[in-house]
């Protein structure tokens, strides 16, 4: 009665993403371990930045492609089409950021596309998703924990703005990249609150294939926030830790989490339209009886 493990086709896209992410994390953690064991005598900053950027852009490319596949399955006027379009635009913004970062003349456009623009697309997409979930009765009030988690991000945003304000008052120049990063933080606060609401709705639904996709979106947003906080805290805590490697360890899981959103959706759609002969025999009739 168990479903055959199949790594072929788009139905197994989530599995491929997890496999790639697992391999990537193992390699990076191994490098970090060797670097630490060797007494931190060699630099691992430069190489990790390059491979990380390439991996993240490639993962964003996969995300965009899967989003376009999903988008094709929602005709004009479908309730979730706008949300999927915005999610696809967010993925496109991440790809654009990865490409723009490699072009010296317009490098500054990269953090704009990959930061505030992408986050704004995601925030708008999530509003649509939450509205539809509410229509179907999957709405739940946020708990104290949800408020607390959102509060932490809001506090972090305030700290970043206070820091920028203090630097400005002291006459220290603030770089354009810092301003761009600051511009994205209020959107991140909104996104976090939306992510908490989506998490509650997902908990009300269960762990089906469609639900897993929305859970991946929540994870992606939580990891984005956690990464922002970690990359702000780590340099204050330790000057010796390789920030580039930590950044790589954070950025790819974030990109993978966002890629899992359309990947699970595609997996669910492929499972639905699979010919009857490919479905497990009599599963629809036997399993409910057994499960209940």
Partner 1 sequence: MHPRRATLLAFCDGEAGADRSRRIAKHLSKCKKCHGQLRRIHGEKEELSAGSAAPPMDGRQDLAGVLSAMAAWREDRAGEAASELRNRLQWQIETYFGFPAVSVVERPGIRAEELLGKASEILDVFLGPNAAQAVTEDVFRGLDWAVPAGESCR
Residues that bind partner 1 (CB under 8 A): 70, 73-75, 78-80, 132, 136-138, 203-211, 268-269, 271-274, 276, 279, 283-285, 287-289, 291
Q: Smallest distance, Å, CB 130 to partner 1?
A: 13
Tokens in use for 156? 């972090």
Q: Smallest distance, Å, CB 13 to partner 1?
A: 15
Beta-carbon contacts of 108 under 8 Å, excluding residues fewer than 6 positions away, are: 176, 177, 180
Q: Smallest distance, Å, CB 148 to partner 1?
A: 24
Q: Smallest distance, Å, CB 268 to partner 1?
A: 6
Q: Smallest distance, Å, CB 207 to partner 1?
A: 5
27-35 contacts at long range (C-beta below 8 A, 24 or more positions apart): 28/245, 28/248, 28/249, 29/249, 31/245, 32/242, 32/245, 32/249, 35/242, 35/245
Q: Which is nearer to partner 1, 55 or 269 (CB)?
A: 269
First to last CA, the chain: 16
DSSP 142-159: --HHHHHHHHHHHHHHHH
DSSP 56-101: HHHHHHHHHHHHHHHHHTS-TT-TTHHHHHHHHHHHHHHHHHHHHT
Q: Which is nearer to partner 1, 107 or 274 (CB)?
A: 274
Q: Which is nearer to partner 1, 137 or 173 (CB)?
A: 137
Q: Which is nearer to partner 1, 46 or 137 (CB)?
A: 137
Distances (CA, A) of 236 to 179, 186, 189, 283: 19, 22, 22, 56
For the chain, give percent helix, strand, coil, nearest 5: 80, 0, 20
What is the C-alpha R_g of the chain?
Answer: 21
Q: Which is nearer to partner 1, 167 or 283 (CB)?
A: 283
Q: Smallest distance, Å, CB 14 to partner 1?
A: 14
Q: Which is nearer to partner 1, 22 or 280 (CB)?
A: 280
Q: Which is nearer to partner 1, 9 or 165 (CB)?
A: 9
Q: Smallest distance, Å, CB 276 to partner 1?
A: 6
């Amino acid at each position: 009665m168990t479903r055959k493990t199949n790594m072929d086709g788009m139905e197994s896209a989530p599995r491929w993403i997890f496999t790639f992410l697992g391999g990537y994390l193992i390699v990076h953690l191994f490098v970090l371990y060797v670097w630490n064991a060797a007494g931190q005598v060699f630099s691992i900053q430069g190489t990790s930045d390059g491979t990380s950027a390439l991996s993240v852009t490639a993962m964003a490319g996969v995300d965009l492609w899967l989003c376009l596949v999903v988008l094709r399955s929602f005709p004009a006027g479908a309730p979730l089409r706008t949300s999927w379009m915005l999610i696809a635009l967010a993925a496109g913004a991440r790809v654009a950021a990865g490409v723009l970062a490699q072009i010296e003349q317009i490098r500054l456009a990269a953090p704009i596309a990959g930061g505030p623009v992408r986050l704004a697309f995601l925030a708008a997409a999530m509003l649509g998703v939450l509205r539809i979930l509410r229509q179907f009765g999957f709405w739940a009030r946020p708990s104290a924990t949800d408020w607390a988690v959102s509060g932490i991000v809001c506090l972090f945003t305030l700290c970043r703005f206070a820091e920028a304000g203090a630097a400005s008052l002291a006459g220290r120049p603030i770089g354009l990249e810092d301003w761009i990063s600051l511009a994205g933080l209020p959107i991140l606060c909104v996104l976090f609150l939306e992510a908490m609401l989506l998490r509650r709705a997902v908990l009300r639904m269960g762990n089906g294939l469609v639900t897993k996709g929305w859970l991946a979106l929540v994870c992606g947003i939580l990891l984005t926030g956690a990464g922002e906080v970690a990359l702000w805290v780590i340099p204050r805590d330790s000057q010796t830790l390789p920030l580039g490697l930590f950044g790589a360890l954070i950025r790819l899981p974030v990109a993978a989490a966002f890629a899992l959103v359309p990947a699970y959706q595609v997996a669910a759609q492929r499972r639905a339209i699979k010919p009857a002969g490919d479905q497990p025999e009599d599963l629809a009739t036997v399993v409910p009886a057994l499960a209940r």
